[in-house]
Structures are given as C-alpha cells and as structure tokens.
Amino acid sequence: MTSSSPSSAAPPTTSGRRLVIGFVVVLLLLAAFLCSGIATGLLFQLSMGAERGAAGLQEDEVVVDGVALKVLTRPGAPGAPTALLIHGFAADKDNWTRFSKWVPTTWRLVVPDLAGFGDSEHRLDVHHDIRAQTERVHQLLVAENSGPVVVVGNSMGGHIASALALLHPQDVRGLVLIDAAGVTPPELSEVQKAFAAGKNPLVVEDVADFDRLLALIFVTPPEVPRPVKTFFAERAAKAREFNEHIFAEFLERPFLLDGRLGDIHAPTLVIWGENDRVLLPSAAKVFVDGIPGATLSLMPHTGHAPMIEHPEETARLVTDFVASLPH
C-alpha cells in the first residue's frame, strides 16, 4: 500500500499575480478616498440628507438684504403654526434637524443659516451684529410670507429671537428662549470669564479642538457618525477667523436686552439646561423675571443645547407651549 504525499502548490501564474496586485491597488485607492475630504463631505451629505429627510426638511436659498441665505423649510398644514428656529453662535441650521423630527408634522418650519454661518454667504461688507441679523430674519419672514410665527432661539439665536419680539412684535406669536444670550447674568460662567479675558472658547482652533467644544456644550455629546463629526470639526476650524470677526462685531455694535425685557409682550417660554456651562442657569431667572408672564422649564442632565442633546423632550416642551397659545 502506497501512501500519497501532499501535492506541492503550483506557483502563481502571471495573470494571478496581476489580479492580486490590482486588488491591492483598488484597496489602497479606496482607503485614500475614504480618508479624503471629498469622501468626508460626501458621507456628511448622505448622513445629513437622511436626517433632514426624516424631519421632512428641504434646503432652499433665499436672498435677503443682498445676502444669500440657506434655509431649511418644511411645508405645514393650512392654519397650523409656523415656527422659526434660530441657531446660536458658530452653529448652523442643522442644530435643529433632530428637534424638527419631534414637533408636529403639521407645523410649517423655517430654519435659516444666519448670514456668516453654515452654508449662508460669508461677506465682510455686511454687518453681522444682533440688530443686523434680527432685521435680516424679519425680512426672511416677509419673503416667506410667514405671518405671525413662533420664534425659537438657542444661545445667540435666543438673543436674536428676543430682539425680533422687541423690534417687530406684530410678527411674533410666541417666543421660546433656549439657553438664550443677551442679558447680564447674576454670575458669570467660565466662558463669559474667558470672554472678559479676550478669549473665545466657542471658537475651534483646529479639528482636535472640536472634542473640547463638545465637552463644553453637552453633558452627553450626541452620537453622530464619525464622517459627520469630522466634517463639522473641519468646517468649524475653517470658520474660526470669520467667527472671530463676527464676535468682534457683537462687541463693537452691542444690542443688550438689559432694561428692555419688560417691553416683550409675546407669550414666552424659557428653557434652560441645568448643567449649562456656557450660560449658567441663573441667567434664566433674568429672562423670567423680566418678561411679563414668562415661564421656565429647567432640563436636568442637560447642557447648552437641549434641542440637540434631548431633542424629543425639548420638542415636547415647545409643542405643549404652542398648544397653549391663543389662536
């Protein structure tokens, strides 16, 4: 009985070697593409497109005061409320995308990138201070033929929302201020102390600095796909210089709400994150004490942007408030 010995492997053919080399080249090219800015931007667009689609939002462009603004909109049912959602400093319209999914689908939504932020036009020949931004927002409402709206603003957006209620009260049916800026608080936050020292912790120096900003803004940073996070980080770093220019305008052309809150007569809800490190919760009391009839909802385990950190709960608070408004 003879035993069979294992056959030795045949040497690879020339065509086989070419196939292996070609496969490796394809893998290397794919890896290079996935690491490129093109791929990051494409994956961001796909991710945000899905988020916007889930909220029923579509992007439009509206020219206001000669400035091209990118605006997310959602059509509403006849007679249903219209909500204008205003983002904060160094932020953009997509801060409201997940929140928008949780408000009634019958609502009409208007969600702009303010001039100088996000995908809207960045121009050095126009002003970006609070009053200038407020007047542009008012012109946007006129262009959109919105009628009286519920204005919801976060941080700087809350400052602009308050200014809109002061300067154009006929256009504001209700006012929601979420961790809003614009008043002198009884105690300064670490961020406000940094402002006083000539530093701005809300401006991102580079991509690696983005995680510091997230830890400052949120108690629990929201889970986002890595390509989306990378895209936001890269865009924030690129926007640093222009953001600093806009912040300098705030200081040069101030529009403080101190002493003016009593002139806001729109029904007002103030929402604040109990763990906000950018604007301490004690600032909420200034708004509630100053605006006649204003009410306060404090959100536990929440930082400076509740509509991102807890979009469903924030949307419920806003929805309940809007339902209470007189028709």
Report the percentage of the chain scoring pLDDT > 70.
Answer: 87
- DSSP symbol at 172: E
pLDDT of residue 231: 82
Contact 107, 80 (CB under 8 A): yes
* b/e per residue 246-285 (b: at least 16 CB within 10 A): bbebbeeeebebeebbeebebbbbbbbbebbbbbbbebbe
pLDDT band at 248 (very low <50, low <70, confident <90, very high): very high
- DSSP β-bridge partners for residue 271: 178, 297
pLDDT digits (tens, 9 = 90+) for 195-235: 989 899 999 988 889 999 999 999 999 887 777 778 888 88
Q: How many CB atoms lie within 10 A of CB 236?
A: 22
Pick from 322, 275, 319, 264: which is nearest to 298 by CA?
275
Rounded Cα distance, 11 and 3, in Å: 24
Domain extent listing, the chain: 21-323
Rounded Cα distance, 68 and 304, in Å: 28
Phi, psi at residue 175, to the nearest 5°? -130, 125
Look at strands 172-178 and 149-154 and give their pairing.
parallel
Contact 270, 284 (CB under 8 A): yes
Q: Measure Cα distances from 142 to 12, 74, 160, 173 in Å.
A: 73, 17, 16, 15
pLDDT band at 20 (very low <50, low <70, confident <90, very high): low
Rounded Cα distance, 40 and 43, in Å: 5
pLDDT digits (tens, 9 = 90+) for 23-48: 554 455 444 444 445 555 666 677 78
- DSSP symbol at 9: P
CATH topology of domain 21-323: Rossmann fold (3.40.50)
User: Measured in Å, how far apart are the chain's first and last C-alpha atoms?
Assistant: 100
pLDDT band at 68 (very low <50, low <70, confident <90, very high): very high
Contact 39, 29 (CB under 8 A): no
Contact 98, 311 (CB under 8 A): yes
Contact 165, 290 (CB under 8 A): no
Phi, psi at residue 36, to the nearest 5°? -85, 160
pLDDT of residue 145: 87
Answer whether residue 102 shows pLDDT above 70. Answer: yes
Look at strands 149-154 and 108-112 and give their pairing.
unpaired
Rounded Cα distance, 119 and 276, in Å: 27
Contact 62, 105 (CB under 8 A): no
**Coil/strand/helix, residue 42:** helix
Locus of tokens 């997230």: 214
Average pLDDT (256-266) is 97
> Where is average pLDDT lowest: 9-18, 156-165, 203-212, 266-275?
9-18
Token pair for 293: 């009839």
Sign of CA dihedral 320, 266, 94, 222: negative
